[in-house]
């Protein structure tokens, strides 16, 4: 029932299904890949354009110690991707519903694999964590939000993680938002993230494979045009030929930590990619 007392229609399709009707990857994988590679202006946003279910990611406001709101801008670079990979891995293990608020910021950030005493990049991870906490993700057309059962867009309804902010600017509680529109679990081995010093483009390709390959039915294959692949990877390369060349090199690199994918990805043709089923790199509930 909405604020006017009207009975809201039941959703006919989940947000994940609506997005994947015309896109080969999960919506959160698409969001992950589309995140800026470098810092962008605070007012920036990211729109995933496709035939149906366009998604809009927008930066949120952070309440500072000076008691004022500040727009942080979009999460970006490897710092943002590391935080999201951590969340994905925890959701996959089904152990992340609520994060222990008794930990200090240093203790919490250490979970992302950086030693604050030894690595000055820790502040980048912390800053990106705060950006992710405030980032808003929803369908660009509210009719799609309604179709997917996402009727009430409130202060944190379209944020994947929510929390109660303390006076010092950190958070007393941090929890997964149960009303978030999309699923968050992907078979990410976070030990690999910590121990493999790779850049954003590597993890974009890795997450693409660990999302798509396990979902293909064993014994069957899936063909995706290189043009659509270029769309998935947010058209960052100027030409399709340049994208194909770099993607092939990156996938060869990804096999080093996802060996089950070897032989399941055929990139030999110039018109489409052929993918076959591969088991995920880790099983549900496994300890990273």
Q: Is the pTM of this model over 0.95?
A: no
Q: ∠ CA(67), CA(73), CA(77), 5° rounding? A: 130
Residue 165: strand pairing partners: 171
Phi and psi, residue 275, nearest 5°: -120, 145
Last residue of a domain, one of 147, 176, 205: 176
Residue 76 lies in a domain: yes
Give the number of domains in the chain: 2
70-100 pLDDT tens trace:
778 899 999 899 989 988 998 888 666 566 5
The CATH code of the domain that includes 261 is 3.30.1370
Are residues 166 and 29 part of one domain? yes
User: Nearest to residue 131, comparing CAs of 170, 168, 76?
Assistant: 76
Are residues 168 and 204 part of one domain? no
Are residues 251 and 112 part of one domain? no
Q: ∠ CA(24), CA(97), CA(116), 5° rounding? A: 90
Last residue of a domain, one of 176, 208, 232: 176
Residue 286 lies in a domain: no
Last residue of a domain, one of 112, 142, 176: 176
- Could you tell me what percent of the chain has a pLDDT over 90? 46
Determine the pLDDT at residue 145. Answer: 86
Are residues 259 and 137 part of one domain? no
Are residues 203 and 147 part of one domain? no
Is residue 214 pLDDT above 70, yes or no?
yes
More confident residue, 211 or 195: 211
Determine the pLDDT at residue 99. Answer: 60
Residue 264 lies in a domain: yes
Residue 87 lies in a domain: yes
Residue 46 lies in a domain: yes
Residue 224: strand pairing partners: 273
159-189 pLDDT tens trace:
888 777 666 666 666 777 777 889 888 999 9
Tell me the residue range of the domain where 234 lies: 196-276
């Amino acid at each position: 029932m909405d604020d006017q007392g009207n009975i809201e229609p039941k959703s006919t399709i989940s947000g994940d299904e609506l997005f994947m009707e015309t896109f080969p990857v999960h919506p959160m994988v698409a969001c992950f890949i589309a995140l800026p590679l470098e810092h962008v202006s605070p007012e920036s946003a990211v729109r995933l354009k496709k035939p149906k279910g366009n998604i809009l990611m927008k930066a949120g406001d952070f309440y500072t110690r000076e008691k004022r709101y500040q727009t942080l801008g979009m999460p970006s670079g490897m710092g943002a991707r590391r935080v999201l990979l951590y969340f994905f891995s925890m959701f996959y293990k089904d152990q992340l519903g609520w994060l222990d608020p008794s930990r200090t910021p240093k203790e919490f950030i250490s979970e992302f694999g950086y030693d604050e005493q030894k690595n000055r990049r820790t502040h980048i991870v912390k800053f990106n964590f705060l950006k992710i906490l405030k980032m808003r993700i929803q369908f660009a057309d509210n009719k799609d939000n309604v179709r997917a059962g996402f009727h009430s867009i409130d202060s944190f309804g379209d944020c994947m993680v929510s929390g109660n902010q303390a006076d010092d600017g950190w958070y007393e509680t941090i929890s997964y938002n149960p009303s978030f529109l999309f699923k968050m679990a992907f078979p990410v081995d976070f030990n690999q993230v910590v121990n493999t010093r790779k850049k954003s483009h590597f993890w974009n390709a890795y997450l693409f494979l660990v999302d798509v390959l396990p979902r293909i039915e064993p014994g069957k294959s899936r063909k995706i045009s290189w043009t659509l692949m270029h769309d998935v990877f947010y058209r960052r390369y100027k030409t399709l030929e340049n994208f194909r060349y770099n993607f092939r090199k990156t996938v060869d690199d990804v096999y080093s930590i996802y060996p089950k994918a070897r032989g399941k990805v055929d990139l030999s043709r110039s018109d489409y990619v052929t993918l076959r089923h591969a088991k995920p790199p880790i099983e549900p509930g496994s300890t990273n």
